Amino acid sequence: MLPIQGLIDFHCHLDLYPDHAAAIHEAEAAGVFTLAVTTTPKAWPRNHELTRKTKHVRAALGLHPQLVSSRAAEIALWESLLPQTRFVGEVGLDAGPRFYKSLDAQKAVFTQVLKACAAAGGKIISVHSVRTATAVLDHIEEHLPPGSNRVILHWFNGSKSEAARAIEMGCYFSVNSNMLKSERATALIKTLPFSRLLTETDGPFTETAGRQSKPTDVAETVQLLAELHNTPVSTLIKKMNQNLRELLEQSR
């Protein structure tokens, strides 16, 4: 059985589990560094309250692109809350069939997010980029000048050339077990430098053993990554923690 202590779940929606407080407590007790992303700024106060005294769980301030069609006006609230946190997410763009109609509004919101982060500095941003990798990278390049902010591309599904561009721009990637069970995604992940990788679950939107994934289930991702790179699990865990430390230090 894989060790749990020292694992990283850099993208998980803890407030969407049946018992939000219990989900945070379980991640905290297990010692899994968990980035609890949010989908709307209205969820921030409760997430912040439950995580502000935890050692391993951090809340991120988000405005999910899939919700922009009905919640674009909440960007003003999002901007007012930004000074309270260094973690931002989930934000980004989604051009999937259900959300393509709101893409222009999404781009406007994402632009405001990036400009606010650029002005503030020191933010760590978990970014959604479904069918929009090039557009997301264009926005980051235009509105988030190189500096103390850091971007993590969550569940990245772009091309190898788009990934290479993201690497050149300094982006990180958070990967989950679903990606590592896809031939196409696995081939892409193999091209990513170890120094830019973090692990995630994206729970509860993924499953482990027939139930909603939780932060401790990131152990499965670690196992699959270790097998992919023919690397001992202990070595991979150490490397992920080194990446996290460097990410946190770079964004100060």
48 is in an annotated binding site: no
Per residue in 66-80, pLDDT tens?
Answer: 999 999 999 999 999
For the domain made up of 8-250, give the CATH fold: TIM Barrel (3.20.20)
> Using CA of residue 144, residue 243, residue 152, residue 188, what is the dihedral sign?
positive
Strands 87-94 and 197-199 turn out to be: unpaired
What is the band of 5 on the pLDDT scale with cuts at 50, 70, 90?
Answer: low
Query: Is pLDDT above 90 for 4?
Result: no
64 is in an annotated binding site: no
56 is in an annotated binding site: no
> Using CA of residue 62, residue 117, residue 27, residue 93, what is the dihedral sign?
positive
Whether the Cβ atoms of residue 127 and residue 153 lie closer than 8 Å to each other: yes
CB atoms within 10 A of CB 203: 27
202 is in an annotated binding site: yes
Three-class secondary structure of residue 211 per DSSP? strand
Residue 215's alpha-carbon distances to 9, 84, 166, in angstroms, are: 6, 24, 26
Residues in the chain, how many? 252
Q: What pLDDT score does 6 carry? A: 86
Per residue in 92-120, pLDDT tens?
Answer: 999 999 999 999 999 999 999 999 999 99
128 is in an annotated binding site: yes
What is the band of 154 on the pLDDT scale with cuts at 50, 70, 90?
Answer: very high
Strands 172-175 and 150-154 turn out to be: parallel
Per residue in 177-196, pLDDT tens?
Answer: 999 999 999 999 999 999 99
Query: Is pLDDT above 60 for 3?
Result: no
154 is in an annotated binding site: yes
- Within 37-99, residue ranges assigned H as helices are 44-51, 68-71, 75-81
Q: What pLDDT score does 2 carry? A: 44
Per residue in 13-44, pLDDT tens?
Answer: 999 999 999 999 999 999 999 999 999 999 99
Q: The tokens of 29 are what?
A: 């007790």
Q: The tokens of 62 are what?
A: 């988000």
- Within the chain, residue ranges assigned H as helices are 20-30, 44-51, 68-71, 75-81, 103-120, 133-143, 160-168, 183-190, 218-228, 233-250
- Averaged pLDDT of the chain: 95
Query: Is pLDDT above 70 for 1?
Result: no
Whether the Cβ atoms of residue 68 and residue 101 lie closer than 8 Å to each other: no
Domain ranges of the chain: 8-250
Whether the Cβ atoms of residue 15 and residue 47 lie closer than 8 Å to each other: yes
